[in-house]
Amino acid sequence: MSEAPPEAIHDVLAAFRLDGRTSLVTGAGRGLGRAMALGLTQAGSRVMLVDVDPEGLAGVEAEIRRAGGQAASAVVDVGDEAQVQACIAETVRLFGGLHVLVNNAGITSRSPFEDLPHEDWERVLRVNLGGTYLCCKHAARPMIAQGGGSIINIASMSGLVGNRGGDNSHYCATKGGVIALTRSLAVEWAGRGIRVNAVAPGYCVTPMTDRLKERDPAFYQELIDRVPLGRFGTGQDLAGAVVYLASDASAYVSGSLLVVDGAYTAW
């Protein structure tokens, strides 16, 4: 009796390509969101850029077009259901479908928890967790209709550990919620062909950390010293993770949390 032939070895690099697919990235007007959007376009995806900052969006859209990519943009408050629903409908109208959703939009504020204004709690919860809920809800409908898709929720290592000196426990609570929502939706939508994963960045070079460096250089250096790899993350570090989870290279990955933190949470 002959043995079954070994499984064919496919082109691994080709599995990372996103040609013919459409991605929607929230919080794409600058920083890490911009880097993720650029990474997706470099892998061949068309991209709908979403943010509340019209100038930032215009700059990123122009950058993608100059590089030969396809992009459109929309000013959207992800905490507003009508705006989210309209944006996703427009994405499908423009590009013929929606294959990848990256829920990156997020905000925070700083306050000792005992002094945290209720409006700050509500505002951060509305954008970080509420916006993820709304975008997942409305993106799932065209994805189900077309036979599947990939949703990538940007969480944070702050959903796994407390932030020393952060004074942003409300932010951490929303990111823990994003992680739990990711795992639940991965199970719920597995039979519909939708994979749902999350990325948990550690400390990254952003305008917020740049301000911390200026305000308290000693504490900034202390945070770097706590990262075993000896540096903060970059947009490129996040872009690679997002392209992987968006692509067929991760076809058997769902309900996972990819921690991109330079081993910060490993010790």
Per-residue tens of pLDDT for the chain, all 267 residues: 445 455 665 789 999 999 999 999 999 999 999 999 999 999 999 999 999 999 999 999 999 999 999 999 999 999 999 999 999 999 999 999 999 999 999 999 989 999 999 999 999 999 999 999 999 999 999 999 999 999 999 999 999 998 877 789 999 999 999 999 999 999 999 999 999 999 999 999 987 788 889 988 998 999 999 999 999 999 999 999 999 999 999 999 999 999 999 999 998
Instruction: Give the domain ranges of the chain.
Output: 18-204+232-261
> Residue 89's CB: how many other CB atoms inside 10 A?
14
Give the per-residue pLDDT at 158.
95
CATH fit for domain 18-204+232-261, picks 3.40.228.10, 3.40.190.10, 3.40.50.720, 3.40.50.2000: 3.40.50.720
What length does the chain have?
267
Q: Let me know: does 78 contact 29? Beta carbons within 8 Å.
A: no
Give the per-residue pLDDT at 1.
42
Phi then psi dihedrals of residue 136, to 5 deg: -60, -45
Give the per-residue pLDDT at 185.
98
Q: Let me know: does 94 contact 72? Beta carbons within 8 Å.
A: yes
Burial of 56: CB neighbours in 10 Å, binned 0-12, 13-18, 19+ = buried
Query: What's the predicted TM-score (pTM) here?
Result: 0.94
Phi then psi dihedrals of residue 199, to 5 deg: -115, 135
179-199: b or e for each residue (b if 16 or more CB lie within 10 Å)? Answer: bebbbebbeebeeeebbbbbb
- C-alpha distances (whole Å) from 190 to each of 75, 151, 156, 197 are 31, 12, 23, 12
What positions carry a catalytic annotation?
171
